[in-house]
């Protein structure tokens, strides 16, 4: 199993999650973080640490966010590792829980949405 960063991280990116991860398995894109499923040890520390409640255990990922499993796995190999907390995205609080945030992902990630 792995934990998965879901849609509500987009345009928030609070990064509290990276502070608690014992194996440093978060990777950073421009608007969003992902978890490397091959490195995650399922410790569950990141889930309650996220103010946006954006992180799920794989088996509790909502049906409409299943594509984020693929997005986390692929982008973890493409984006740089992040191990320290940094300031969130501008207007993060306003973006929290907004619908359809996935449209703001980078172009190469959006192609995965087309493939689902
Ligand atoms: Fe890191 Fe644990 Fe979260 Fe996996 S479940 S990403 S190991 S904090
Ligand atoms: Fe994103 Fe939550 Fe981490 S908003 S950066 S998953 S703390």
Q: What is the pLDDT of residue 51?
A: 98
- Name the residue with the closest Cα to ligand 1, atom 4: 40
Q: What is the mean pLDDT of residues 76-85?
A: 98
Q: What is the mean pLDDT of residues 38-55?
A: 98
What CA–CA distances, in Å, run from 12 to 5, 26, 30, 33, 114?
A: 12, 15, 11, 10, 23
State the distance from the centre of ligand 2 to the C-alpha of 110, rounded, in angstroms.
20
Which residues sit opposite 26 in a β-bridge? 35
**pLDDT above 70 covers what percent of the chain?**
99
| Mean pLDDT estimate for the chain | 96
As a whole number of angstroms, the distance between CA 71 and CA 96 comes to 20
- Ligand 2 pocket: which of 54, 56, 82, 83 to mutate (most atoms within 8 A of CB): 54
pTM: 0.97
State the distance from the centre of ligand 2 to the C-alpha of 116, rounded, in angstroms.
24
Judged against a pLDDT cut of 70, whether residue 116 lies above it is answered with no
Ligand nearest to the CA of 101: 2
Q: What is the pLDDT of residue 113?
A: 85
Q: What is the pLDDT of residue 115?
A: 81
């Amino acid at each position: 199993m792995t934990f998965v960063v879901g849609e509500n991280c987009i345009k928030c990116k609070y990064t509290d999650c990276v502070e608690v991860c014992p194996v440093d398995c978060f990777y950073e894109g421009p608007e969003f973080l992902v978890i490397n499923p091959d490195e995650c040890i399922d410790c569950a520390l990141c889930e309650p640490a996220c103010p946006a409640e954006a992180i799920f255990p794989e088996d509790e990922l909502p049906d409409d966010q299943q594509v984020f499993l693929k997005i986390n796995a692929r982008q973890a190999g493409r984006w740089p590792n992040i191990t320290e907390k940094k300031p969130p995205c501008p207007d993060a609080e306003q973006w929290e829980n907004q619908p359809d945030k996935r449209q703001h992902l980078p172009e190469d990630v959006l192609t995965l949405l087309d493939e689902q």
